[in-house]
Every structure is written in C-alpha cells, then in structure tokens.
Chain A
Amino acid sequence: DAGVIQSPRHEVTEMGQEVTLRCKPISGHNSLFWYRQTMMRGLELLIYFNNNVPIDDSGMPEDRFSAKMPNASFSTLKIQPSEPRDSAVYFCASSLWGGFTGELFFGEGSRLTVL
C-alpha cells in the first residue's frame, strides 16, 4: 500500500484565498483524522471521521474551516478565506480502528503558508 497520500505537499497563498487540502487514506481504514501542527501549539486534532461520518469537529478553529469525506478513499480540508494565522503543517492520518485501539498512519503533511 502507498500509505496515506496528501496533496499538495506545499502551498503558498495570499490572505483571503481559498485553500483545499486533500487526503487519500489507506485502503480499508475506517477512521480518518485531520491534524494541524504549529510551533506554538504542537499537534492538534481538527476533525475526525469514522466510516466517512464526522464524529468530532470540535477542533475546527472557526467557520472558515470545513472538511468533507464523500467516500472512504478521499477527504478534503478547506479553508475559506485563508488568513496568515492558518499557516501550519496539516497532517492527515488514518487508522483501522480509531484513535483508541488503532495504530495511526500519517501522511507526509501539507505545509501551508498564507501571506
């Protein structure tokens, strides 16, 4: 298996622009997580899907952030409009059984810079 695939790896955009990050989880995994990593706050959960259904989106910073998982093999994280404070590395991870009992497999991350 190719592992968790994220795109783009790097994104530089201007404030106010829409940003869409994409994730393909490992085939057969039923849990998908979006995390954000910054120097100040470390890794934080943004949203968690189980069987394509959002279970916990309490980590989504505000309405500018939205995430979808239309099917078991694809998820998007959208920021509209983007702001400089959104600059971070965004990781997608998938798991067979969820964060409690399933090993997490991370993508390479998408480094976002908002100017």
Chain B
Amino acid sequence: KNEVEQSPQNLTAQEGEFITINCSYSVGISALHWLQQHPGGGIVSLFMLSSGKKKHGRLIATINIQEKHSSLHITASHPRDSAVYICACCQIGPNYGGSQGNLIFGKGTKLSVKP
C-alpha cells in the first residue's frame, strides 16, 4: 500500500474552474512537496511546506499535519495548467539524521483543463 495517496487520479475541468487535488499520507514527515510534470516529461517543484499554507500566483498549497492531509488548489484554471501533479513526502528512518530523508511519491493526479 502506497503510503502517499492522491485523489482524484484523473481530473478534467473547464477553463476558469477552481481545482482541488488532495494528498493523504501515513508516514511521519518534515516537509511535503508538490510537483508538476508536464506532458513533455519535465518535473518542476511547485511547493515545499511543513505547515500552514503557501501561495504562488494562482496556486495554493495547504497542509494539516494533525490530519496528515495536504491540498493543492488552482484558481482560475487555464489549459496550460494541464499536467500531472505529484505529491511527495518524507519518510523518517532510523538511519536518517537531521534534514536527510527519502521521498515517497503519490501516483499523481492527471489534470486536463479544457478551453
């Protein structure tokens, strides 16, 4: 069982719609990452957060540590937002110290925004 679960797996929206992608995790974390992978394959880091909320342009990421849940929101969605959005968080292991760690990735949410 993947310890990082994303929903939905696929999402189709009309341009302008408000979009929410969810991520739940079961491992202890220090920081959670949201990544974006475009059809060309490149991966870009959108956010890294360990508490509260972060905003960058039309993108907002929130995290609730107690509930082990994070959400990525896109306001006023646009066709260029079409991509796979991947949630990843860190596994604290016995051999890791300080800020080192392993990322466990969700399966990704494929977003398609129609004009």
> Which residues of A86-115 have CB atoms within 8 Å of chain B's CB atoms?
89, 91, 93, 97-106, 108-109, 111
Q: Is the CB of A109 within 8 A of B108?
A: no
> Which residues of B86-115 have CB atoms within 8 Å of chain A's CB atoms?
86, 88, 90, 93, 95-96, 98-103, 105-108
- Residue A77, interface by CB 8 Å: no
Q: Is the CB of B90 within 8 A of A100?
A: yes
Those 5 A-B pairs whose CB atoms lie nearest each other, nearest first? A106-B43, A43-B105, A100-B30, A100-B99, A100-B101
Q: List 18 A-B contacts (CB under 8 A).
A: A42-B105, A42-B106, A42-B107, A42-B108, A45-B102, A55-B95, A91-B43, A97-B99, A98-B98, A99-B102, A100-B30, A100-B90, A100-B98, A101-B30, A102-B99, A106-B43, A108-B42, A109-B41
A42 and B95 alpha carbons, distance in the complex (Å): 25
A100 and B86 alpha carbons, distance in the complex (Å): 16
Q: Is the CB of B42 within 8 A of A48?
A: no
Q: Is the CB of A104 within 8 A of B45?
A: yes
A interface residues with partner B (beta carbon < 8 Å)? 31, 33, 42-45, 48, 50, 55-56, 59, 89, 91, 93, 97-106, 108-109, 111
A91 and B103 alpha carbons, distance in the complex (Å): 14
Residues of A within 8 A of B99 (CB): 97-98, 100-102
Given known pairs A42-B106, A43-B86, A104-B33, the reply for A99 and B41 (CB within 8 Å) is no
